[in-house]
Amino acid sequence: MPWNDKFECMPVEELKKFQLQKLKETIAWVSEKIPFYKNKFREMRITAEDIKSLEDVAKLPFTVKTDLRDNYPFGLCAVPLEEVVRVHASSGTTGKPITGPYTQEDLDQWIECMARTLYAAGIRKEDVVQNAYGHGLFTGGLGFHQGAAALGCTVVPTGAGMTERQITIMQDFKSDVLFATPSYALTIAERAEEMKVDIRKLPLRVGVFGAEPWTEGMRQEIEERMGIKAQEAFGLTELCGPGVAYDAADQNGLYINEDHFLAEVVDPQTLEPLPEGEKGELIFTALQRRAMPMIRYRTKDITRLWREPGHEGRTFIRMDKIYGRSDDMLIISGVNVFPSQIEALLLEIEEVEPQYQLVVSKKGYLDHLSVRVEGKPEIYEAGEDRRHEIEGKIAGHIKGNMGIGVNVELVDAKAIARSEGKAVRVIDERPKQER
Ligand code: AMP
């Protein structure tokens, strides 16, 4: 049974009615409280009365990251700061950070969304949970902390980093659960192997991983190396942080907390809504937030939505694992390439470690992709010829599956920097104006 079967298992028609009501209330709220939306709606001559069905959400304007940057820090906040009880922020890679302010009501809703996420992962009150997400402005640390606290778990807020200490704590405290980014989970697994600690023999039973794209292959790798179930959480600062979507024990898609977030998928070029089942950019409208409800927020994340009767009676619409971000998509020899596609193929090669980086450079007018990946220790012992043979094998595997020619370099062991948070997978060496 889910954490909150009233909402998680609500009949779809009833759920849609609930969403429509909340959508209208949110439109009325933001048009009254946030000048940015008030002006936009006035220009477009839209009022809450124009929203008669959920499909009418398509009449509303999009919100993009630069709107948040332009209104930094609190220009999009609907309530006075004295009603804001917490502010998180995300730095992103360029420019000013964006902020996520919360009222107490917003925090309570977030905790509820995280409790659903963790309960669906099989976490219970008796569990000792080790929270290795960064604690601070990043939403991961406190988001997971509060969710686990709501379940009544014993929470150990280790934060990210100090990997050896993570492993010692895991042994000493007999942690049942680990929270981390998938790339940091792998860093922990690898360090434990070096310390001759077999995590598979420890009580650790489940991990909840997210905050960055990772493939099914990476999930299997983590499950095998740690001897756990690797569950997933998805979210973004603009909406609340983690807790927007989560998978259940069947690991078959991520359920979107639909009573809180209305999801759409649009064509990233035309921005036209796409039917269920088609891949495109994920858009969210917050339905119950008070401090900073986003209207049609463009996540840049690429996925597909689908609805089927779910695990333990869940009715929420599901999304596939994120394929990648539209701004991480590379075009190599005319082919659209997401880093996750390369990751999936690398994980099929048994001679390499799941530690890789993609380097994009310019050769003449064309973009060129180099794949830097580490081999398993025995490859290095076998000498140069074997190394080149594996490089050829990987290049052939990528060519055979994606039709693109890439340069593969089997780099030295530990040459790729280990991640403690969100892994840096792509290094862009192209001149800035040619990206
Ligand atoms: P931030 O607001 O800094 O936490 O970043 C949010 C972004 O992280 C999302 O828009 C996604 O691109 C990424 N992200 C979060 N969770 C996941 C996940 N489970 N799978 C893939 N990407 C994720």
Q: What is the largest CA-CA distance in the chain?
A: 72
Cα(123) to ligand 1 centroid in Å equals 22
Contacts for 389 with CB less than 8 Å, ≥ 6 apart: none
Average pLDDT over residues 86-114: 91
pLDDT band at 96 (very low <50, low <70, confident <90, very high): confident
The CB of 237 under 6 Å from ligand 1? The reply is yes
The CB of 398 under 6 Å from ligand 1? The reply is no
**How far is the C-alpha of 101 from the C-alpha of 109, rounded, in Å?**
13
Cα(36) to ligand 1 centroid in Å equals 25
Q: For residue 391, give both structure tokens.
A: 């490089």
Q: What pLDDT, on a 0 to 100 scale, did the predictor assign at position 366? A: 87
Q: Across the chain, what does the average pLDDT equal? A: 96
Distance of CA 282 to the CA centre of its chain: 12
Q: What pLDDT, on a 0 to 100 scale, did the predictor assign at position 246? A: 98
Domain parsing of the chain, residue ranges? 1-325, 330-434
Please state which CATH class domain 1-325 belongs to: alpha beta
DSSP codes, 278-346: --EEEEEEESS-SS-PPSSEEEEEEE-EE----GGG--S-EEPPP-EEGGG-EEETTEEE-HHHHHHHH
Cα(49) to ligand 1 centroid in Å equals 33
Cα(236) to ligand 1 centroid in Å equals 6
> What is the number of residues in the chain?
435
N- to C-terminal Cα distance for the chain? 48
* Ligand 1 atom nearest 422 alpha carbon: 8
pLDDT of 382 above 90: no
pLDDT of 93 above 60: no
Q: What pLDDT, on a 0 to 100 scale, did the predictor assign at position 292? A: 98
Per-residue pLDDT tens for 226-283? Answer: 999 999 999 999 999 999 999 999 999 999 999 999 999 999 999 999 999 999 999 9
- Closest C-alpha residue for ligand 1 atom 9: 236
Q: What pLDDT, on a 0 to 100 scale, did the predictor assign at position 333? A: 84
Q: How far is CA 109 from CA 100, 146, 238, 259, 288, in A?
A: 14, 11, 14, 10, 8
- For the chain, the C-alpha Rg in angstroms (whole number) is 22
pLDDT of 365 above 90: no
Q: For residue 72, give both structure tokens.
A: 């930094």
pLDDT of 51 above 90: yes
The CB of 183 under 6 Å from ligand 1? The reply is no
pLDDT of 95 above 80: no
Cα(237) to ligand 1 centroid in Å equals 9
Contacts for 182 with CB less than 8 Å, ≥ 6 apart: 209, 210, 212, 214, 218, 219, 222, 230
pLDDT of 426 above 60: yes
The CB of 301 under 6 Å from ligand 1? The reply is yes
Per-residue pLDDT tens for 169-200? Answer: 999 999 999 999 999 999 999 999 999 999 99
Query: Quick one: which of 118, 64, 369, 355 has its CA closest to 248?
Result: 118
Contacts for 193 with CB less than 8 Å, ≥ 6 apart: 225
Mutate to test the pocket of ligand 1, among 322, 340, 419 (most ligand atoms within 8 A of CB): 322
Cα(229) to ligand 1 centroid in Å equals 20
Q: How far is CA 195 from CA 188, 190, 258, 414, in A?
A: 10, 9, 44, 15
Per-residue pLDDT tens for 133-160? Answer: 999 999 999 999 999 999 999 999 999 9
Of 300 and 92, the one with more pLDDT: 300
pTM: 0.96
Q: What pLDDT, on a 0 to 100 scale, did the predictor assign at position 433? A: 76
Helices (H) and strands (E) in the chain, counts: 12, 21
- Closest C-alpha residue for ligand 1 atom 6: 236
- The percentage of residues in the chain with a pLDDT greater than 90, rounded to a whole number, is 92
Per-residue pLDDT tens for 389-414? Answer: 999 999 999 999 999 999 999 999 99
* Ligand 1 atom nearest 254 alpha carbon: 19
pLDDT of 431 above 90: no
- Return the CATH number of 330-434, one of 3.30.300.30, 1.10.760.10, 3.90.550.10, 3.30.428.10: 3.30.300.30
Spatial contact of 260 and 236, defined as CB atoms under 8 Å apart: no
